Amino acid sequence: MIPKHLYRLNEYRISEFADGRLWWDTHSGFGSQIGGPCFVYGSILLIGTRCNEENGFLKLEFNGTLKKLPLWNRTRYFCFASTLLDVSSGRNIREDRLQKRVSLSSMISTGSKTMIGDNLRAFRLGQYQITIAPDGDISWKSCGGTNRIFGGPVLIESDILFMGPRKFDDPQQNKREFLHSLRALPQWDRTTFWCRSSALKHVLPYKKPLLALSPQKKSSIPQTKRMPVKRHRSEYVKQAWFQMTDYCADWVDELKARWPQRVWPKRKKNRAIGNKID
């Protein structure tokens, strides 16, 4: 079937057909390309799993045709469907269930949900604790193998919970206390899907990444001042010259001490005779 519209999204070509289906393909290997289905879920384009491979253009030819296409503008974000998990089961989402949710989302709003005013402030999602602050900010906490509690921010977009990178530690609570309080929390049910990593990306390439790591100031390491090369060489030459002259002076003194004493008077006598002849 011939696509109705073609779009460009980074290295992917998005094809839209007359029946509303979306398909992605990209270059792979030598003269071949791979592809699979993709879905619009709220304001996110979900790129499905690869299910097709066929002969196609060479890489330069494929990129040349890709640059001529307009940018994908149907959604603000995109991510890979393989990174999403089902909240109820904690497993990866099957494509048939995802397709049903996509068709259902066209009738139900899947925009970002505000959590301000909720009575419940903490939930359990697998081994994570999801906490809602009074101002609506959401964060996650979990425990590691080193008996440390750490956490980071959370973003909810289009009925999907995205966990951001680790940004803080909680030294006031140990692992045993955390797991005990985690079991007593109710199950998270405010979204249908969730994702362990911040896999949500902007469609526009110049946008800043969501839930990115905050830049940390590096401690300045004191460095010893280095002499310029020319100055260093001149200092070395001076030092070597002084050492050489001192060594030569010592050698001359030693030579004079060992020289027969009779030689010096003879030389003085010859000089005196020469002066008389003149």
- Fill in the amino acid letter for 36: G
Per-residue pLDDT at 222: 43
- SS3 (DSSP) at 102: helix
- Model pTM score: 0.68
CA distance 33 to 26: 5
Q: Does 95 or 243 have the greater pLDDT score?
A: 95
Q: For residues 203 and 72, is the Cβ–Cβ distance under 8 A?
A: yes
Does the pLDDT at position 77 exceed 90? yes
pLDDT-derived band at 174, boundaries 50, 70, 90: confident
Per-residue pLDDT at 229: 45
Does the pLDDT at position 9 exceed 90? yes
Does the pLDDT at position 152 exceed 90? yes
Render pLDDT for 111-146 as a digit per residue (tens, 0 to 9).
Answer: 555 555 556 689 999 999 999 998 889 999 998 877
Q: Give counts: helices (H), strands (E), the chain.
A: 5, 16
Q: For residues 3 and 11, is the Cβ–Cβ distance under 8 A?
A: no
DSSP-based helix, strand, coil % in the chain, nearest 5 = 30, 30, 45
Average pLDDT of the residues in 206-226: 49
